[in-house]
Amino acid sequence: MSDSVNKNRVEVCFAPCDFHQYEEGFDLVVVIDVLRATSAICTAIEHGVKGIIPVATLDEARELQKEGYIVAAERNGAVVEGFDLGNSPYSYMNPELKGKTVALTTTNGTKAIRIAEQKKTVVIGSLNNLTSLCNWLVEQKRDVLVLASGWKDKFNLEDTICGGAITDMLIQSGQFISDEDSSVAAKFIYRSAKENMFAYLKASSHRRRLRALDLNADVSYCLTPNNVCAIPILKDGILVPLNEVAEKV
């Protein structure tokens, strides 16, 4: 709690390599990777997937595959050879995945989750679960750090927009302030993008990458606010639905 004004802080960290500069004093982290890892994870949990194991490397993913897990793997936007599933939110709407645990490795998103995992509370955010996530964050009365997965440790626009949306909503609740310039910048970028995020992101590097892979439908889905209510939370190394975690987080 920021004692001078008696409000909580919400701050945005633009890339995993900067996490150590921002993390001090925060024990609640929201990890975001709008295109597409955290949008896919929120969608999977919403559609009844029991849990997602976030995996940082392909080697770890192959080990879990040998152990019999369903394993999804994406690198540079494409499904990795030897794996059946990738990172499209649509693939997690498959009723056959209901009740199953899936291990997932992605270029940036799952690595960012693993970087944040030592924190007391790690939840997953996206534009898809924006309002339910922000309502829950307001109820927590705790400082919130939003960790953007970025692209290979660099800033990206889509995560910045989502970080700005979360910041804007929390500040508008009257309970939060931001100190960092990154958070102020994210909020202003969100405000200039929010009326047409798809067009705003036309030139963004990952949108271009996904367009080249014919994945525009995934982009439209990931940029649709509030089509999901689920809030995945990390519990013993597995992302599960927040409403199934009994104890206070």
For residues 47 and 142, which CB has a smaller minimum distance to ligand MLT in the complex?
A: 47
Whole-angstrom Cα distance, residue 63 to residue 173?
A: 45
The residue range among 32-40, 49-57, 179-187, 225-233 that interacts with ligand MLT, by the rule CB under 6 A, is 32-40
Smallest gap from residue 150 Cβ to ligand MLT (A) = 9
For residues 187 and 207, which CB has a smaller minimum distance to ligand MLT in the complex?
A: 207
Does residue 87 interact with ligand MLT by CB under 6 A? yes
Read out DSSP for 66-96? HTT-EEEEEETTEEPTT-SB-S-GGGGG-GG
Q: H-type helices in 69-223, by residue range?
A: 109-116, 130-140, 157-172, 181-193, 197-200, 205-212, 216-222
Determine which helix (DSSP H) or strand (DSSP E) holds 245, and give its type and residue range.
none
For residues 132 and 204, which CB has a smaller minimum distance to ligand MLT in the complex?
A: 204
135, 129 Cβ separation under 8 angstroms: no
Encoded one letter per residue, x for contact with ligand MLT by CB under 6 A and - for no contact, window 139-178 reads: ----------x-----------------------------
Smallest gap from residue 94 Cβ to ligand MLT (A) = 17
Smallest gap from residue 73 Cβ to ligand MLT (A) = 10
Count Cα neighbours of 83 within 13 Å in the Cβ-side half-sphere.
26
Does residue 36 interact with ligand MLT by CB under 6 A? yes
Whether the ω angle into residue 207 lies within 30 degrees of 0, i.e. cis, is no
Q: Which of 106, 121, 132, 160 binds ligand MLT (CB under 6 A)?
A: 106
Smallest gap from residue 205 Cβ to ligand MLT (A) = 11
Whole-angstrom Cα distance, residue 249 to residue 242?
A: 9
For residues 8 and 106, which CB has a smaller minimum distance to ligand MLT in the complex?
A: 106
Q: Which conformational region is residue 9 in: left (phi greater than 0), alpha (psi within -120 to 50 degrees), or beta?
A: beta
Does residue 108 interact with ligand MLT by CB under 6 A? yes
Encoded one letter per residue, x for contact with ligand MLT by CB under 6 A and - for no contact, window 201-240 reads: ---------x------------------------------
Does residue 43 interact with ligand MLT by CB under 6 A? no
159, 150 Cβ separation under 8 angstroms: yes
Among candidate residues 81, 34, 29, the one with its CA nearest the CA of residue 201: 34
The binding site for ligand MLT (CB under 6 A) comprises: 33, 35-37, 74, 77, 87, 106-109, 149, 210
